[in-house]
Amino acid sequence: MHFEKQANTWYWICNRRVQGVKCSRGKLSIRDETVFDNSRLPIQAIVWMMWHFVHRLSEQQCKQYTNIGPKNNKTVVAWYAKCRDICFKWIWANKPKLGGFGKIVEMDESHFAGAPKFGRGRRLGEDPWENCFKWAFSLTERGSLDKTVHHSRSRAMLLPLINDSCAEGTIFCSDGWKAYVKLNENVDLDDTLHFAVNHSENYADPTTGAHTQTIEGLWNHAKDFLPSFGMKPRDLDSYLSAFMWFRHCKASKT
């Protein structure tokens, strides 16, 4: 098998013959079953847009630097969305185990259906925020850049996520949200501890020292990562997954 260029497109060419019969799949585009499949754009143009995404340039900057004309403005938007979708699939397939014996994992929920940042712009887009998108739940290991996010904060959704994302022996710190009540008795993890802090009284528990300042700081970074204009509620998961992917790359120095 070799590959060659035909009509400005590269193909894999199979030159094998069995009993004198040519291979039934004699020509295969190098785009087949890849992210480039079903796209008419040159591969170089797609890779160039991906380069801008990976280097955290905005969609508007990408449009300018790639000379995408005004008639094709949706092209960059669509490929940035595809990049975020790839981040979503990768991060959930490769998310690390958080915590372990002696390690602290903070958890917190955050509200995303509030007013636009600084009272300017339209962070929410035109779509209404349904109940399942208004809140997001996150876990982060203290001293690590790894983070797990889910768009629900109900107990029925949180417990399976905690069981799947955390290791045995983890020390959990949270606020007083009712979904966390008797957490260490309800998770399927051995030797865990849970300390809660009442934020109506203290930022950190004066007795145990428990606090959630790390995860609260990460929520601020996550919300700053979101676009200031035009983000639709249904896209929240993809943006948060891209945020986690960038933090993973920073932690692993890749």
- Per-residue pLDDT tens digits for 15-72: 666 666 666 566 677 777 788 888 878 888 889 999 999 999 988 888 888 776 565 6
Question: Is residue 237 pLDDT above 80, yes or no?
Answer: yes
State whether residue 247 is helix, strand or coil.
helix
Which helix H or strand E contains 21, and what residues bound it? strand 21-22
pLDDT, residue 110, reads 84
Tell me, rounded to whole angstroms, the distance of Cα 228 from its chain centroid: 18
Lowest mean pLDDT segment, chosen from 18-22, 169-173, 187-191, 206-210: 18-22
Stretch among 11-20, 176-185, 201-210, 230-239 having the lowest mean pLDDT: 11-20
Q: What are phi and psi of 247, to 5 degrees?
A: -70, -35
- Under 8 Å between Cβ of 59 and 43: no
**Tokens of residue 179, six digits:** 């979904």
The torsion angle over the Cα atoms of residues 244, 247, 253 and 254, rounded to 10 degrees, is 40
pLDDT tens profile 111-150: 776 544 444 444 444 445 565 567 788 899 988 777 777 7
pLDDT attached to residue 59: 87
Which tops the pLDDT comparison, 168 or 199?
168
- Compute the mean pLDDT over every residue in the chain, rounded to the nearest whole number: 80
Work out the average pLDDT over 76-80: 91
Residue 235 CA to residue 216 CA, distance in Å, equals 22
Q: CB under 8 Å to 169, separation ≥6 — which residues?
A: 99, 100, 101, 102, 103, 189, 190, 191, 192
Instruction: Locate 10 and state its tokens.
Output: 């590269």
Domain boundaries, the chain: 1-30, 43-94, 104-252
pLDDT at 226: 85
Could you tell me how far CA 202 lies from the centroid of its own chain?
31
Top-tier CATH class for 104-252: alpha beta
